[in-house]
Chains A and B, each alone.
Chain A
Amino acid sequence: DSGVTQTPKHLITATGQRVTLRCSPRSGDLSVYWYQQSLDQGLQFLIQYYNGEERAKGNILERFSAQQFPDLHSELNLSSLELGDSALYFCASSVGWTGEYGYTFGSGTRLTVV
């Protein structure tokens, strides 16, 4: 157990639908990062939040959005889902906003769009 909790572990939904993935960071960590891992693209950085504020953006689609709440948990919202959005979605956390001491990853949410 890494200390980063992601729910749900598996999600199957239809094209056009909207889903919410949830992440609780390791205790004491203020930064949360979201990554997408698909077979053909590898691990892609999506977005980072630090203490409730958006800190950095990567290859996140406009159909996707995220937020970090006052209790520091984060949610990734995926809407108008397409078959190509099927992937593993990982959340990671770190102590500060620089992540210089390393990231701790959760075990991921496997999203299947049918």
Chain B
Amino acid sequence: DAKTTQPNSMESNEEEPVHLPCNHSTISGTDYIHWYRQLPSQGPEYVIHGLTSNVNNRMASLAIAEDRKSSTLILHRATLRDAAVYYCILRVPPNYGGSQGNLIFGKGTKLSVKP
């Protein structure tokens, strides 16, 4: 599976923007970039995903580099509730009957938010 590299941890101040980087230099043309987060004592939560273009939703924005070798998850105004582990995942298109396509989680980035 294609690999991603994220910083182990990051700190942010409340109500400031947060940029969480992810490197994926071995990404192929059909791999989707997915972001999930896991709050303490909870299951992972879908945040956003994209292929080539930048994406926005109510939770965050995803900025994808032109060469697709890196991406950045942007939280526009961090709150204390955003303190979590953020996972950047490359999702290979599935092949029916095969084992591709499932989300393979790495270590993620632990985001701390200071009041």
Measured CB to CB, the residues of A under 8 A from B are 2, 4, 33, 35, 42-45, 48, 55-58, 90, 92, 97-100, 102-108
With A97-B96, A100-B32 already in contact, the answer to whether A105 and B102 are too (CB < 8 A) is no
Decide: A106 and B43 in contact? CB cutoff 8 A: yes
Q: Tally B residues with Cβ within 8 Å of A.
A: 25
Decide: B42 and A102 in contact? CB cutoff 8 A: no
Decide: B102 and A56 in contact? CB cutoff 8 A: yes
Return the 3 tightest CB-CB contacts between A and B, nearest first: A105-B43, A102-B46, A43-B105
Decide: A108 and B105 in contact? CB cutoff 8 A: no
Chain A residues in 8 Å Cβ range of B91: 99-100
Decide: B44 and A102 in contact? CB cutoff 8 A: no
Decide: B107 and A92 in contact? CB cutoff 8 A: no
**Would you give 10 A-B contacts (Cβ < 8 Å), ordered by A?**
A4-B43, A33-B103, A43-B44, A43-B87, A44-B105, A56-B100, A58-B102, A99-B102, A100-B32, A103-B36
